[in-house]
Amino acid sequence: MRVSSQDVTVVALLADPDAPTEIAQRMARMLPDRLADRSDQGRRFDVEVVSEPFTAGTEDLSTLTRRIVDRGSEGNWDIVVALTDLPLHSHGRKLVVDLSHEHGLALLSLPTLGGFRLQTRARQAVEEAVLSLAGPQATGPEGPPKSQPLRGPFIGRLAPIHPGQVGEEEIADLRYVVSGPRGYLRVLFGMVRANRPWRLVPGLSKALAAALATGAVATVNSTIWTLATSLSTPRLVIAMVGSVALMIGWLIVDANLWHRTDEVSHEARKRAALYNASTVMTVGIGVVVCYVGLVVINLVWALFILNDRVFASTTRTPLHTTEYWTLAWFVASVATVGGALGSGLESDEAIRAAAYSKREQERRSVLQDDHRD
């Protein structure tokens, strides 16, 4: 890292590819002005975004911080803030942020900021980290400024974030972690948010095509009419849950999204369970959105195509609003099963991006390509 000028501090946002890079690019537009306004030293800030898979192949904090230090020494920067969407661990706790005032670096794990207002919370965390690293250093027998806590709403009383243990051999001198059930849920929702489940809907195009074809045929099938009118609400709910679960399971198996670990440690098993839970939730959100879309499309199709006299003569039930809704609901469940069995998504990038293990493989591949170049 270069020696800082008195008036300008150059900040590098070292971001993993995909979501962290997009978050870094958005915050970089407003970060210089916000940092300058909040700095009490009349200092100006320049912010650069560097997109690199710096977490590829490891989740070990010591290894990651050494990588960041090495990368920072290659650039003309005063401060390096690394952003990753990997859930990192420290002494059994989920890491939020690591800071090293000596080396001018910070490492931020985005999932620990939760699944809501991620952009705002990430910007707040980066602001606090940069201001802490750019501030005056503590001297005297107490050593590095461990006693100077970060400020800001992202570590307020309602957030399950608190200072964490830092080993004497570690590069970091200040650490914040989350723990407990609230911390686990916060990380899980943050991982789902980092997966960006809304991107799954376009990725499910093949399954949707099969489901729409199945629904179109089922809507004009008299046997389906009879079944739909005879099913009670609990059975319709069971059919819905079963079809959605089948679709989720099929997509995970078909795209090989289930994360398995060869490590026997308790920490590795917990990490694998967290990865798989986030994958199931991400795929589940995408499938539920598609299911709701199928209900709406099937309802419109039924309103357009069905004849009330033919329907009543077949089912002995008048075709009213309830029958339209029940038929669309049941056909959506049948179509979802057809979509699951008719899909072939093993090569779809949007589906594979729902799993952290797959993104890790892609980052390793990118890192290997860079090394070969």
- pLDDT (tens digit, 9 = 90+) per residue, 19-35? 899 999 999 989 988 88
Confidence of residue 9 (pLDDT cuts 50, 70, 90): confident
* Mean pLDDT, residues 328-338 taken together: 89
Whole-number pLDDT of residue 76:
84
Query: Mean pLDDT over all residues of the chain?
Result: 81
From 120-124, 216-220, 353-357, the region with the lowest mean pLDDT: 353-357
Whole-number pLDDT of residue 158:
47
pLDDT at 18 over 50: yes
* Mean pLDDT, residues 283-297 taken together: 91
Burial bucket for residue 210 (CB in 10 Å: 0-12, 13-18, 19+): buried
Q: pLDDT tens, 165-187? A: 777 777 888 888 887 888 888 88
Task: Give residue 218's Cα distance to chain centre.
Answer: 36
Query: Which of 12-21, 332-341, 354-363 reaches the highest mean pLDDT?
Result: 12-21
Can you tell me the distance from the alpha carbon of 106 to that of 365, in angstroms, rounded to the nearest whole number?
25
pLDDT at 144 over 50: no
* Mean pLDDT, residues 262-277 taken together: 78
Can you tell me the distance from the alpha carbon of 57 to that of 352, in angstroms, rounded to the nearest whole number?
18
* Mean pLDDT, residues 117-122 taken together: 88
